[in-house]
Amino acid sequence: MPIISKEGQIKNGNDEIVIIANTDNPENIFALYHNTEILGIEFPSYSDGRGFTLAKRLRNLGFAGRLRAIGPLIPDQFAESIDVGFDEVEISQEQLNRQPKEQWFAALKTFSKAYQQDGHKQSIIAARWANKS
């Protein structure tokens, strides 16, 4: 399966990785796997955003390893995944054929606001409130 890194590389995934569900408890995951080199969070569908929250909570708890989003995310979600703490996204080869890496990296430049608070970008909600003044 191809992996798209935030550094702009595509590689094939054959790393040793611990994979967790996006429904797992972040405190339990951190207690068990805080020293893990690569932790993968499964996304059952692109419309299930619980993995974004789990990644952010793991980073806030102090997880310092690589975080990989695994599943059918779309390029529009790439910026958000990096903003909440993911280092890379693993998708199917079929999806990469339909949505080549150029689309993924173009999306990074397109989205200047974030959905979640406390990221590297102003949140969409904060921008809306600022525009009401």
Output the pTM of the full model: 0.82
Using an 8 Å Cβ cutoff, are 92 and 85 in contact?
A: no
- Ordered DSSP codes for 65-83: SEEEEES---GGGHHHHHH
The 2-5 sheet, strands edge to edge: 10-12, 2-5, 88-90, 66-70, 38-42, 18-20
pLDDT single digits (tens) 53-71: 999 999 999 999 999 999 9
Measured CA to CA, the distance from residue 52 to residue 12 in angstroms comes to 23
pLDDT single digits (tens) 1-27: 899 999 888 988 778 899 999 999 999
pLDDT single digits (tens) 68-98: 999 999 999 998 999 999 999 999 999 999 9
**What confidence score (pLDDT) does residue 112 get?**
59
pLDDT at 116 over 60: no
**What confidence score (pLDDT) does residue 89 get?**
96
